[in-house]
Structure 1
Amino acid sequence: MNLILLSAIWGIVMMFSGLFLNSKSAAKTVALVGAVALLIGNIFDLSGKMIINSDFKGMLQYERFGLLFLTVLILALIIYILLSGKDVEAVGKHPFEYFALIFFVMSGAGLVALFNNLLILFIGIEIVSIPLYILTGADKRNLKGNEAALKYFLMGSFSTGILLMGIAFLYGAAGSFQVERLAMITSEDFTAFTTIGIVMVMVALAFKVSAAPFHFWTPDVYDGAPTVFTSFMATIVKAAIFIGFLNLFINAFAGKSDSWKLTVAIITALTLFIGNITAVYQQSVKRMLAYSSIAQAGFMLFAVFAVNDLSKQGLLLYAAAYCFATIGIFAVLVKMKDYTFEGFNGLAKKQPLVAFVLTVCFLSLAGIPLTAGFFAKYFVLAAAVKTGTYLWLVIFAVVMAAVSVYYYFRVIQAMYFKEGETQELELATPFKALLVLVAAVIIVLGVYPSLLLDMLIFF
């Protein structure tokens, strides 16, 4: 609850700060103070100390997993502001408003993570989505960005209608929007209303996390949006929607019927295949990362498929590994003029420290041992194996992970083994120090994932 209130309040503070502070550079500072306040407030939440101690008639549930997941997202937000705050200021004339929208997104993420009522889930997803439509078209001078914003808005509105219709069908089946009432529906009680409702909600959420075959908006939107906002959309936003996806299925539909599992398995397989195979043929690193994010969504879908305790551990670790690595990559990418693979040629000679950090981040995304991405993939796949069904899907995922190594290593190869005219990057020492910190966190979580996972028990 602290996160939901504080982020909404700080979004308003950011808007009014823009009226009184003339310096654009002050936006990053004010945003960083707000992010730290969110972290402190969420830690208090974990300790049971809330600003308003109410579950609002059971519409919210303050479970340990959701609050810890939000802590990871807030830490990712702090890293994002520290690394890319100046780039947000460079997008346009309204940096305070941009950060205000980001805080409103975090408020929606809190609702999605802690919902116990389908209407709260719907409201949370809309609070997350609507600011993103604006951020995507924030650079008015970029026609590609304007086109991406319009496409995102139209497709997002369409998926919202599907989500609302699915919720209506589930209400018809359960007679309530409460998740616990949905959980009371037995396998024998599954009606056409229930099945249609689950499928429609699944389709809408698959669109929001850019899972195939509902991914078609992702490459154009991620490529057209300002790179600094693409970083935010591809990491914190995607992870926030996934926790809502998992919580709904693990709390309402786990163990009821395997009919929906086949649908999730097909979506997962398509997402892995389309994301990885299409990424191989990209010539722009930014666009490759867009398709890579689709492939990463395929692995996170294993948590939804398995709906067990390992699912929660896997998704928590995956969110941390994926967010930190991707934010680190985009923080460097946004400072480059050439987004092609050739733009990375010889980077290791002029910027060896930056090249090393990028290598660690790409290795983590590929799931190489000694990085957080390895154990993240291990836990979500182990959760699927634990179900004892659809083992072919796990084997297919391992093959697709091997494919992903190819396009990630293309960037590493360009940095270390190819000659070319290296781009001049003006990177301050604090920026490099933060990149090293990101790489260190990825390696530490790759060696000791229990440092994060044990918090599920500690709090």
Structure 2
Amino acid sequence: MNAIIVSALLGVLMMFSGIWVKNRAAITNIAAAGLLLLVIANLLNTYGVWVIHVNTHGMLEFQQFGLFFNTIAFTATLLYVLLSGRDMERTGADTAEYYALVFFVLCGVSILTSFNGLLMLFLGIEILSIPLYILTGADKKNLRSNEASLKYFLMGCFSTGILLMGITLIYGATGNFSFGNSQPIPGTTMVSAPFLEVAGILLVFVSMAFKVSAAPFHFWTPDVYDGAPSVFTSFMATVVKAAGFIAFVRLFSMHTALMGPSWRIIVTFVIIATLLVGNITAVFQQSVKRMLAYSSIAQAGFMLFALYSDNDLAKEGILLYSIAYSLATIGIFAILIKMNDYTFDGFNGLAKTHPVLAAANTVFLLSLAGIPLTAGFFAKYYMLASAVKAGGSIWLVIIAVIFAAVSVYYYFRVIQAMYFKEGTPSVVPTGKSFHTLLIITAAAIILIGLFPSWVLNFLYF
């Protein structure tokens, strides 16, 4: 319970800090210190040094897999605050409230990594989602931000209704808030499950696919990510998305037998549709921010392989993917926020005027593209290798590799603009501390790309 309790208390603390502290920079420093405390508390819980014991009556089940992801999520959020905290201060006057909402989101993340039943899954999703609706509309004077917030709220309510309907059907069929308790049919590997339970599982699957922006339930993502303030889009597209996938994997892990052979068919269709929509649509975008929104859909296609494979390699891969994707995307958005022009032309000549920003941005883009010697390469490798290990179809892996090659095109458009086109980009002044953090983040991506086993050994220490 360390992460859940500490994140909730820090959220309350940040609400009151808005009354006591008037200096916005001081509020950002308090939030960073709180995130560091949260990382330490979760690590102490993970390795059994100091644990807050609370009787949850079986509603929460804390496993190493979930606690490891908590460490990744909290560390990524700390990096996000260090890189983009000053930009959050410029979004509006309610800086303390923004950080309070971020901590409440992390409380929801902590529940999603440790739920033991559909009731706690629902509570975790709502605790995570409701603050995001507010953060999306944080730029109150911007009509696009208001529109994105309204769309996100309405679509989120719609998907929550589907989730609740699925939970209702499962409860009606089994009498409890879990599934996977049906007995195997004698003499076969098939499982006998009531129709209502299977229907409920399908509805839960659709709702979770919506939350992680998997096609064909992705339609809300580009408008919401593009309309929301960029500083909050960075958080939504990384920590929040990765937490959704961890919940997705945790929910359906070891229960896929209920769906029989049709399970692989459904997941395969969703993977191909997500890769197709995300990559092909990203190619035609003229805004880097909107391209990154479609890119996040394409990345979701690779992360879905963890659901398809359901083995130890997939679990290691989803943790490594969460690290690689979060570091690269947070870094790219930190640079994008400093640009006054979000189009590809806005990056023309960046390498000449701001070589550090261009070099770091190149590393981040190469990682997202899955180029060797970056963390993104091994993240994609683990996802595809898990599918092969699970006995999946080789043609599905080949399709994923082809779409990864397509993604190289639109990522390299930004690199081409920075290094091979003339221009004078308009960039907000940046300090040495910002450059240092970018270099450290880029170096971490390369280091993980060279020695991915170091990360996994640390997680499974």
- TM-score normalized by structure 1? 0.97
How much has 1:421 moved relative to structure 2?
Answer: 2.3
Kept in 2, the 8 Å contact 1:35–1:74? The answer is yes
**Alpha-carbon separation, structure 2, partners of 1:164 and 1:323:** 30
**Alpha-carbon separation, structure 2, partners of 1:400 and 1:55:** 47
**Alpha-carbon separation, structure 2, partners of 1:191 and 1:453:** 39
Kept in 1, the 8 Å contact 2:209–2:215? The answer is yes
How much has 1:47 moved relative to structure 2?
Answer: 1.8
Matched AA of 2:180: L
More off after superposition, 52-61 vs 216-225: 52-61
What residue number does 1:153 align with?
Answer: 153
Q: Secondary structure at the match of 1:339?
A: coil
More off after superposition, 44-53 vs 312-321: 44-53
What residue number does 1:261 align with?
Answer: 264
Matched AA of 1:350: T
What residue number does 2:318 align with?
Answer: 315
Relative to structure 1, is the Cα distance of residues 244 and 11 closer, same or farther in structure 2, using a 3 angstrom cutoff?
Answer: same
What residue number does 1:118 align with?
Answer: 118
Alignment of 1:379-418 (within 5 A): 379-418=382-421
What residue number does 1:141 align with?
Answer: 141
Q: Secondary structure at the match of 2:304?
A: helix
**Alpha-carbon separation, structure 2, partners of 1:450 and 1:377:** 15
Identity of aligned residues (%): 58
User: Aligned pairs, how many?
Assistant: 456
Matched AA of 1:136: T
What residue number does 2:367 align with?
Answer: 364
Kept in 1, the 8 Å contact 2:282–2:294? The answer is yes
Q: Secondary structure at the match of 2:90?
A: helix
1:103 has 2:103 as partner: yes
Structure 2 residue runs without a partner (length 5+): 185-189
Kept in 2, the 8 Å contact 1:254–1:307? The answer is no
How much has 1:172 moved relative to structure 2?
Answer: 2.7
Aligned-residue CA RMSD (Å): 1.3
Q: Secondary structure at the match of 2:255?
A: helix
Matched AA of 2:64: R
Relative to structure 1, is the Cα distance of residues 359 and 254 closer, same or farther in structure 2, using a 3 angstrom cutoff?
Answer: farther
Kept in 2, the 8 Å contact 1:366–1:373? The answer is yes
How much has 1:451 moved relative to structure 2?
Answer: 1.1
Kept in 2, the 8 Å contact 1:183–1:253? The answer is no
Matched AA of 2:142: N
Kept in 1, the 8 Å contact 2:44–2:51? The answer is no
1:176 has 2:168 as partner: no
Alignment of 1:204-215 (within 5 A): 204-215=207-218
1:190-239 CA distances to partner (integer Å, 9 max, x unpaired)? 23112211211111011101111111110000000000000000000000
How much has 1:389 moved relative to structure 2?
Answer: 2.7
What residue number does 1:88 align with?
Answer: 88
Relative to structure 1, is the Cα distance of residues 306 and 129 closer, same or farther in structure 2, using a 3 angstrom cutoff?
Answer: same
1:92-151 CA distances to partner (integer Å, 9 max, x unpaired)? 010000000000000000000111111111100111100000000001010000001001
1:225 has 2:217 as partner: no
Kept in 1, the 8 Å contact 2:305–2:387? The answer is yes
Relative to structure 1, is the Cα distance of residues 457 and 25 closer, same or farther in structure 2, using a 3 angstrom cutoff?
Answer: closer
Structure 1 residue runs without a partner (length 5+): none
Relative to structure 1, is the Cα distance of residues 197 and 255 closer, same or farther in structure 2, using a 3 angstrom cutoff?
Answer: closer
What residue number does 2:451 align with?
Answer: 448
1:354 has 2:318 as partner: no
What residue number does 1:69 align with?
Answer: 69
Q: Secondary structure at the match of 1:189?
A: coil
Q: Secondary structure at the match of 1:62?
A: coil
More off after superposition, 389-398 vs 148-157: 389-398
**Alpha-carbon separation, structure 2, partners of 1:241 and 1:357:** 28
**Alpha-carbon separation, structure 2, partners of 1:15 and 1:320:** 29
